[in-house]
Amino acid sequence: MQTRLSASRFLIVFFAATLAAIVFRIDNWPLTWVPMYAAYLPVDEVRVRVWDKQEIRQGFLVTTRDGRTEWINHERLNIPRTKFIRLYYERIHGAVPPKDEQSHIALSPPNRWLRELFDPHPSVNQWDWRVLRSLNKSLGREPGDADFIVSAQATALQRSFSIADLNDGGGVQPREERVVATATWNEAWISRWGSDDI
């Protein structure tokens, strides 16, 4: 009898956890694999920023509170080069992590409400705040310091491909342009500085 009761409790807990994983679209739950992020969003053009070793080696062009400019790269920040590439080519340009963005696509209204109670939509993130906070905190700079970073700039080559050209299957000639993304400090953020609010 005790074994049957234990088995029943285990099954109740297991199925409750499995249902919760499905409702909240938790894809790390090992026993509920489903194609959760298989939502297709049609676009007319695909834009890709091209990585350049020299740009990565040089890093962000930053301006400090006292007006000086300097270059900050992954070595000065003491972070892996791959993480710096994400900051330089994605976050400062406002590109959210793909998994975060996809996890909010095609949700039913109740599911969206439940999910966004704990995980707000990534589009509400202030990437300027997050990038500048990361740079300053990594270098140990505080808002009152003369060397506090108030602006960071990243320049990249962007290639744009037309979906119609890609579907034709012929030789596709992308449109190329230099794009400049700038994160600028907002003095209203000083009140958030000491908190863990990222």
For range 133-147, the mean pLDDT = 92
Work out the number of other CB atoms within 10 angstroms of the CB of residue 111: 15
Burial 2-19 (b: 16+ CB within 10 A, else e): eeeeeeeeeeeeeeeeee
Top mean pLDDT of 14-23, 100-109, 142-151, 165-174 is at 142-151
pLDDT of residue 31: 47
The amino acid at residue 126 is: Q
Query: How far is it, in rounded angstroms, from Cα 9 to Cα 146?
Result: 61
Mind listing the pLDDT tens digit for each residue in 158-178? 998 888 888 877 778 888 999
Domain boundary assignment for the chain: 44-191
Burial 26-38 (b: 16+ CB within 10 A, else e): eeeeeebeeebee
Q: Using DSSP, how many helices (H) and how many strands (E) does the chain show?
A: 8, 5
pLDDT band at 34 (very low <50, low <70, confident <90, very high): very low
Question: For residue 154, what are the contacts with CB-CB under 8 A and spacing of at least 6?
Answer: 55, 60, 61, 88, 89, 92, 93, 180, 181, 182
Q: What is the DSSP letter of 170?
A: S
pLDDT band at 113 (very low <50, low <70, confident <90, very high): confident
Choose between 145 and 31: higher pLDDT. Answer: 145
